[in-house]
């Protein structure tokens, strides 16, 4: 595996491919064996890796062995280890053997299924797996291809939001004319992911027309129909057009749940597009006991969730379903000469779709094979077990936090996310905030776990999001021991 003679360069020679890929598999298996030995959150001096590497790409090729040695020495120590069993930050990003196998098939076959002809089975497999996923989540028939809707695999929720916003916008502008863009208003809660506001900005909604509606502890920080109704009425009275409402199942900060059915009734009344963002918690909906959160989904225009978070599917994979695909393809279609199908066109049916018209980009990866391998390898039963296992761990963690009088659970747990803080009785609010900041810094600096935070009603809360592929009960127990240890040290100094 030394440097290559230039003229003989055969970049897909099967023997070289097998040898070098095998070496990477071994490298990664070893990484998984040892991932819990690295500090979970990396904290290098900024710029240190840039100082370490040369200014230019090498003139001559180097061996894969040498490159892997450098990954080991220079790269691994500077990564934050999302696959560590003690990674409890943000939301999980599950890797799995099946997700990896699917990703390898996607990357190895390396087809680009932007139109049906460019890889027919890749397009059709995607239609099959998004229908499978829709069934698994218990989504209404109208989001299935067989029910007149349909789904697509994107890379991220933001892309799903941009595409559906563009669809809703163009549907509205077809009646209002383009100058109507200044009247379009979008609605979300103060718990909705920042991605939504960014998406609205990307599609040209005036910043003055983003409504960020207040939520409160009474509704568990879920958006209520009353709040939306009032905001919409005010806007309509001012001659504005209520375009799009984003409801979230399992917000990023707290795991809050917007009530889809009641929001759906308001949206229907005003012809407002209702999107359900279930990026994180949508995975839980494969278990019947969590499908109630999607009650009323038949009132929505679109739904999205990310198997790349908590459903064993390596980055990236976001399912988006729409009830009326034509609305989306009207906004996103192109038909350049160089992509037209010559010869096969007569065979096309209304079932034959070109996924380039369901997304932002023209090019796309064969993500469907990845999700298909995951669903087949683990089966519905295996995936439900995966979700329930983490929920049980989070339940346990919530229980022990609640039982320790120095701590409090700040909002009731949803799914596998626990939001808590250290709350010594004797301490003032201001001091409590800095105490928890210090606690989080100490926990993360230990290298033994990584958690992130949120601020709600002025309270600084620590988030423990369970869901790693390798996270077992002992790691959650370890996190609790670590938190208590650091809390003790801090309280001893008070």
Nearest CA among 478, 479, 474 for reference residue 464: 479
21 forms part of the interface with its own copies (CB under 8 A): yes
Per-residue binding letters, 162-181, with its own copies (x by CB under 8 A): x---x--xx-------xx-x
Asked whether the bond before 316 is cis by omega within 30 degrees of 0, the reply is yes
Cβ nearer to its own copies, comparing 109 with 226: 109
Instruction: Give yes or no for a contact between 298 and 321, defined as CB atoms under 8 angstroms apart.
Output: no
Q: How far is CA 167 from CA 198, 260, 355, in A?
A: 16, 20, 15
| 416 binds its own copies per the rule CB under 8 A | no
CA atoms 135, 139, 144, 148: torsion sign: positive
- Stretch touching its own copies by CB under 8 A, among 19-27, 214-222, 229-237, 400-408: 19-27
CB of 464 to its own copies, least distance (A): 13
DSSP β-bridge partners for residue 304:
277, 320
Q: Which residue among 175, 218, 237, 343 contacts its own copies (CB under 8 A)? A: 343
Q: Which two tokens stand for residue 232?
A: 């919409």
Sketch the per residue contact string, 106 through 145, with its own copies: x for CB under 8 A, - otherwise. xxxxxxx---xxxxxxx-xx-xx--xxx-xx---------
Interface residue with its own copies, options 261, 453, 477, 484 (CB under 8 A): 453
Shortest distance in whole angstroms from residue 166 CB to its own copies: 6
Binding mask 202-221 for its own copies (x = CB under 8 A): xxxxxxx-------------
- Residue 446 interacts with its own copies (CB under 8 A): yes or no: no
Which among 38-46, 231-239, 261-269, 484-492 is the span making contact with its own copies, rule CB under 8 A? 38-46
Backbone angles phi, psi at 331, to 5 degrees: -80, -25
Cβ 451 vs Cβ 88: under 8 Å: yes
When binding is defined by CB under 8 A, the residue of 164, 197, 327, 416 that contacts its own copies is: 197
- Minimum Å gap between C-beta 266 and its own copies is 25
| Residue among 153, 240, 276, 331 that touches its own copies (CB under 8 A) | 331
Binding window for its own copies (CB under 8 A); candidates: 159-167, 242-250, 262-270, 321-329: 159-167
Query: How many other CB atoms are there within 10 angstroms of residue 181's CB atom?
Result: 19
**Min. distance of Cβ 110 from its own copies in angstroms?**
4
Q: Where are the alpha helices (DSSP H) in 181-276?
A: 194-202, 225-237, 260-270
Contact in structure between 137 and 305 (CB atoms under 8 Å)? yes
DSSP E strand stretches across 41-191: 150-154, 184-189
């Amino acid at each position: 595996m030394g440097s290559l003679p230039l003229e003989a360069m055969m970049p897909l020679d099967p023997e070289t491919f097998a040898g070098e890929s095998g070496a990477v598999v071994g490298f990664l298996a070893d990484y998984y064996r040892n991932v819990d030995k690295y500090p979970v959150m990396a904290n290098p001096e900024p710029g240190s890796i840039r100082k370490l590497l040369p200014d230019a790409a090498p003139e001559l090729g180097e061996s894969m062995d040498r490159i892997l040695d450098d990954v080991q020495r220079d790269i691994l120590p500077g990564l934050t280890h999302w696959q560590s069993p003690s990674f409890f930050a943000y939301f999980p990003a599950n890797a799995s053997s099946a997700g990896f196998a699917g990703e390898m098939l996607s990357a190895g076959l390396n087809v680009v299924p932007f139109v049906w002809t460019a890889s027919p089975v890749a397009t059709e497999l995607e239609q099959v797996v998004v229908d499978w996923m829709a069934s698994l989540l218990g989504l209404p028939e109208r989001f299935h291809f067989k029910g007149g809707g349909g789904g697509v695999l994107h890379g991220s929720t933001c892309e799903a939001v941009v595409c559906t916003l563009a669809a809703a916008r163009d549907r509205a502008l077809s009646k209002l004319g383009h100058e109507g863009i200044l009247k379009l208003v979008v609605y979300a809660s103060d718990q909705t992911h920042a991605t939504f506001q960014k998406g609205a900005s990307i599609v040209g909604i005036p910043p003055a027309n983003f409504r960020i509606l207040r939520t409160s502890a009474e509704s568990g920080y879920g958006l209520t129909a009353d709040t939306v109704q009032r905001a919409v009425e005010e806007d309509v009275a001012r001659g504005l057009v209520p375009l799009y409402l984003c409801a979230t199942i399992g917000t990023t900060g707290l795991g809050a749940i917007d009530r889809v059915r009641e929001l759906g009734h308001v949206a229907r009344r005003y012809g407002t597009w209702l999107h359900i963002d279930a990026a994180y918690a949508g995975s839980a909906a494969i278990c019947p006991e969590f499908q109630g959160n999607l009650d009323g989904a038949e009132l929505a225009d679109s739904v999205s969730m990310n198997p790349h978070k908590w459903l064993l599917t390596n980055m990236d994979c976001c399912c988006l379903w729409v009830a009326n695909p034509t609305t989306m393809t009207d906004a996103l279609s192109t038909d350049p000469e160089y992509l037209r199908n010559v010869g096969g066109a007569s065979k096309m049916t209304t079932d034959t779709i070109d996924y380039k018209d369901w997304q932002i980009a023209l090019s796309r990866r064969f993500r469907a094979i990845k999700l298909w391998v995951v669903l087949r390898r683990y089966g519905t039963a295996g995936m439900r077990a995966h979700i329930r296992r983490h929920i049980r761990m989070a339940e346990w963690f919530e229980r022990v936090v609640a039982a320790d009088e120095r701590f409090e659970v700040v909002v009731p747990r949803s799914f596998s996310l626990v939001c808590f803080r250290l709350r010594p009785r004797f301490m003032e609010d201001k001091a409590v905030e800095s105490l928890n900041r210090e606690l989080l810094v100490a926990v993360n600096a230990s290298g033994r776990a990584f958690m992130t935070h949120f601020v709600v009603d002025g309270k600084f809360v620590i988030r423990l999001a369970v869901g790693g592929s390798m996270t077992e009960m002992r790691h959650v127990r370890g996190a609790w021991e670590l938190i208590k240890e650091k809390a003790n040290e801090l309280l001893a100094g008070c």
